[in-house]
Amino acid sequence: MANPWRGEVALTIDGEPHAMRLSLGALAELEAGLKSGSLVDLVERFESGKFTTRDVLALIVAGLRGGGRDLQASQLMTAEIEGGPMQAARAAAELLARAFMLPDAAAGQRNGGV
């Protein structure tokens, strides 16, 4: 089960639940592997709805690694993600949001606030 207090997001891949999170190392690896721009650019693409499937895949891989799973993007190319591409995109967006959310904002969200 994913722990939102740690910034974790749950995603079921090939029938197995995974807790993903964007650790500092995972964020650095993600930024190094981006085809264009920085992490700020990636956040802006998600906020504007102009992200790519490559962005989603890169975030999922980084989140899995940050959560302790050493998977390559090629291994996810044929994986079955519960909820399909839309769920993968939601999980990727949630990973970004939790990685950059201020602690006070996170507490307010969990308590029904904004």
pLDDT digits (tens, 9 = 90+) for 71-112: 888 888 899 999 999 999 999 999 999 988 766 655 555 555
The two tokens of residue 1 are 């089960």
Q: How far is CA 102 from the centre of its chain?
A: 17
Give the percent of the chain with pLDDT over 90: 54
Give the percent of the chain with pLDDT over 70: 89
Q: Taking the domains of the chain in order of start, what are their residue ranges? A: 4-100
- Full-prediction pTM beyond 0.85? no
Across the chain, mean pLDDT equals 86
Q: What angle do CA 63, 91, 93 make, to 5 degrees?
A: 90
Q: Are 72 and 66 in contact (CB under 8 A)?
A: no
